Structure 1
C-alpha cells in the first residue's frame, strides 16, 4: 500500500477526526436528501451488523484464551470491577430518584398502540432469564448474541484447556490474534458506518419527534450527563486517588461517541476492547470485564427505568415515601441488568418497576410507547453511558502500571 495513497492515509489517520467528519456529513445529507440518506444508510447497517457479528466470536475467543493461557497466581482484578459495576448502577438509579423529586414531570399518556411485547412481570422473572441464559446452548448463544451464555461457556472452555500443551495454547493465541485483526479492520470503517447511521437518523426524525416530550427527555439527558461527569468521576477518584477526568474524556471520545450512534452495547464491545488495549490495561481482566459490563453495568438503563416510572407515578398522583424510593432504586438496578443487548430493552422493564406502585400494565405500556418516541436520543445516550462506563471502571482497576 503506497504511503501517499488514499487507503494508507485513511487507515493510518486520526480515527476520531474521521468519525467527526462522518457525523457532520451525515447530518448534512440527512437534512438535504431523504433519498440519498436512505441509500447511504446501508453503510450504517453493514457497520453495526459487522460489529454484532464479530462481538460474540471476539468475546468467546478472548475469554477462553485468557483463561486457558493464564499463568497461575496472576490476579485478574475482576471482583473489584464487578463491585464498581453494581455500585455504579445502583447510584445511577438513586440519582435518578433524586432528580425526579427535584424536577417532577407529568406525562400526557396517549392511547398506546397494542403491541406483542411481553414485559417481565417480576424481578424473579428477570433473574430466571439470566440463569437460563447462562446454560444456553453455546452455538445458540453465539448465534443470538447471548453474552451471559457466551461468557459461561468461554470460561468453561478456558478452564478445561488450562492444562493443555503449549502447542494447543499457541493455537489459542493465534486464533485470538487473527480475530483481533478483524476487529481492528472493522473499527477503522467506523467513519463510514456512523456517516450512514447519522444520515438515516436525521432523515427519518430530525428533531421534530423530540420536542413534544422535551421536558422528560431533558431530565433523562441531564441525569445521564450528571452520572457521566460527576458520579463516575467521584467513584474513579475514590478508587484510584487520581484525577479521573483524563480517563473520563478518553472513554467518551473513544467509546461513547461510537456507542451513541450504534445504540448497542453488544456492538460496542469490540470498540471497548480496542480502547482497553490502547490504555495498556491487563488483557486477562478486560477480556472478561468488558463483555460482562455489556450485560450487567447498566447505569443508563437504571436512569431510564427510574425516571419514566416516577414520571408515571407523578402523573397519577401517587405519593412515594423514602423507603419506597430506595426500593425502586434497587429494583431498577436489578431490572437494568436484564436490559442488555436489545435496543430499547430498558423501556420494556418499565412495567416491572411500575408494578411496585400498583400501576397496571395498560398504563405502563403507554409510558413505554412514549419512551420509544424519545428513544432516538434516550437510547443512544443510555448506550453511550453504559458502554463507556465499562471501560472507565475497568481502567480504574486493571491498569498495568
Structure 2
C-alpha cells in the first residue's frame, strides 16, 4: 500500500517547490468552492505549517547569527550597511507612493461601526521606548516569545565573544547551525500542504463578500504595494547592480512572497527567506543578520497601509492635509511600525496614533481600525508578502553590487 502511495505522489514530488505550492493554492481554492465544511476541516494543515515555522525561526536566527559572527574574520567584507541603506530608502519610497496615490485617488470610508475596542500604542515615544527595552529581554524569554530584537542583540553579543574561542567551539556552533538549517529545510518541504490548508480555510471562513464594501480602499492599498514591488523596488535594485533587476525580483517574489502571503507572518517567513538566500548563493554573513533584521525594521508595506488608511480618514472627515505633512506622517508611522512588527495587525494598531496627528477622535480612529481588520484578509497578506520578499531582494542587491556584469 505504501509503495502504491509513493508511486502516486512520485510525479508530484519531482516538481519544483514553487510549482507544488501553486498546485496547493489551486487545490485549496477548488476545495473551498466544492465544500466549505471540507475546506474548514483541513485548516489543521495550515496551522501546523505556520506553527512549525514560528517555532523554528527564533532558534534559527539565534544560532545562525551567532555562528556567522563567530566565524567572521577581521577584514572579511560584509554588506550589512548597504542593506540597511536600501531598507530605509525602500520604506521612504513606498511612503511617497502611498501619499501620491492617496492624493490622486481620494477614498471615503463608511464610519458607521459601533462597539469597537482595541489597544493602540499611545505614541511613537512609547513605541521606541518599548523597542529599546525589548532589546535587553532575558534570552530564554526572547526565544520563547519570538522577540527578534532581543534575539539579535544576544546572538550578536555571543557571536562577538566567541570570535576568539577555540576552533573546536566555533566548529561545534557551525554544526549546530547546519543541523537547525536542515530542520528548516524539512519544514519548508511541507509548504505545499500547509498553504493548501491555509487557502482552503481562509476562503471557507471569509470568502470575498466581506471585502466588496471596501473595494476602493483595498484597491489603493494593494495597488500601491504592487507598484512598489514591480516598479520602484526594481528601480532601486537597478540603481545598485546596474543591470536588469527583474530576474532577481521575480526570484524573490516566487521564493518568498508566495509563502509570506499565506502565512501572513514575517517571523514565520524568516526560515523561507534564509533558504532562498542560500539558493541564491548570497553571502551567509550578510543574510544571517539582514533577514531577521528586515523582518523587524523593513516596513514598506506598513508605511503604505498606515498612510493610505489615515489619509482616507482625513479625506472622509474633510480635514485638509498638505503633501509635506502627509509625507511626514508616513515617515513617522513607518519608523513606529518597527516596534510592533511582530504583533498581529501591528500596522493597523498604529492608525490611531497616525490619525491623532490630525486631531481625529479616538472613537473614529478605532472604527477605522475595525475597517482595517475587515480588509486584512488581503491587506495583511499583501503587506507581509511585500515586506518579506523585499528583505531578500535588497539583501541580494547589496551582495551583488560589487559583482561586475558577466559577459
- TM-score after normalising by structure 2: 0.95
Q: How far did 1:7 drift?
A: 6.8
Q: Aligned partners of 2:352 and 2:330: how far apart in 1?
A: 15
Q: How far did 1:343 drift?
A: 2.6
**Aligned equivalent of 1:92:** 94
Which consecutive residues of structure 1, in runs of 5 or more, have no partner in the other structure?
Answer: none
**Aligned equivalent of 1:244:** 245
Quick check: 1:321 aligned with 2:322? yes
Q: How far did 1:338 drift?
A: 2.4
Q: Aligned partners of 2:153 and 2:33: how far apart in 1?
A: 45
Q: Is the 8 A contact 1:93 1:332 kept in 2?
A: no
Q: Secondary structure at the match of 2:381?
A: helix
Q: Aligned partners of 1:11 and 1:172: how far apart in 2?
A: 32
Q: How does 1:24-39 map onto structure 2 within 5 Å?
A: 24-39=26-41
For each residue in 1:355-389, what CA deviation from the matched residue of structure 2 results, as whole angstroms up to 9, or x when unmatched? 11111221111000000000000000000000000
Q: How far did 1:83 drift?
A: 0.9
Q: Is the 8 A contact 2:269 2:388 kept in 1?
A: yes
Quick check: 1:155 aligned with 2:156? yes
Q: Is the 8 A contact 2:99 2:323 kept in 1?
A: no
Q: Aligned partners of 2:379 and 2:373: how far apart in 1?
A: 9
* Moved >6 Å (runs of 4+): none
Q: Aligned partners of 1:381 and 1:133: how far apart in 2?
A: 27
Q: Is the 8 A contact 1:112 1:365 kept in 2?
A: no
Q: Aligned partners of 1:323 and 1:189: how far apart in 2?
A: 47
Q: Aligned partners of 2:170 and 2:10: how far apart in 1?
A: 34
**Aligned equivalent of 1:389:** 390
For each residue in 1:296-345, what CA deviation from the matched residue of structure 2 results, as whole angstroms up to 9, or x when unmatched? 00100110000000000000100112331221122122122223122311
Q: How many residues align?
A: 399
Q: Is the 8 A contact 1:343 1:379 kept in 2?
A: no
Q: Aligned partners of 2:78 and 2:11: how far apart in 1?
A: 37
**Aligned equivalent of 2:193:** 192
Q: Aligned partners of 1:353 and 1:133: how far apart in 2?
A: 23
Q: How far did 1:160 drift?
A: 1.0
**Aligned equivalent of 2:267:** 266
For each residue in 1:112-135, what CA deviation from the matched residue of structure 2 results, as whole angstroms up to 9, or x when unmatched? 4333x3211211111112101111
Q: Secondary structure at the match of 1:212?
A: helix
**Aligned equivalent of 1:78:** 80
For each residue in 1:111-158, what CA deviation from the matched residue of structure 2 results, as whole angstroms up to 9, or x when unmatched? 24333x321121111111210111111111111111111000000110
2:104 maps to which of 102, 105, 111: 102
Decide which moves more: 384-393 or 330-339.
330-339
Which consecutive residues of structure 2, in runs of 5 or more, have no partner in the other structure?
Answer: none
Q: Is the 8 A contact 2:78 2:286 kept in 1?
A: yes
Q: How far did 1:239 drift?
A: 1.1
Q: Secondary structure at the match of 2:42?
A: helix
Q: Aligned partners of 2:78 and 2:14: how far apart in 1?
A: 32
Q: Aligned partners of 1:174 and 1:249: how far apart in 2?
A: 32
**Aligned equivalent of 1:142:** 143
Q: Aligned partners of 1:11 and 1:181: how far apart in 2?
A: 18
Quick check: 1:350 aligned with 2:363? no
Q: How far did 1:10 drift?
A: 5.3
**Aligned equivalent of 1:125:** 126
For each residue in 1:137-195, what CA deviation from the matched residue of structure 2 results, as whole angstroms up to 9, or x when unmatched? 11111111111110000001101111000110110011001000000000010000000
Q: How does 1:16-27 map onto structure 2 within 5 Å?
A: 16-27=18-29
**Aligned equivalent of 2:257:** 256
For each residue in 1:18-44, what CA deviation from the matched residue of structure 2 results, as whole angstroms up to 9, or x when unmatched? 101100110111122222112111000
Q: Aligned partners of 2:301 and 2:280: how far apart in 1?
A: 24
Q: Could you say what the CA RMSD is over the residues aligned between the two structures, in angstroms?
A: 1.5
- TM-score after normalising by structure 1: 0.97
Q: Secondary structure at the match of 1:290?
A: helix
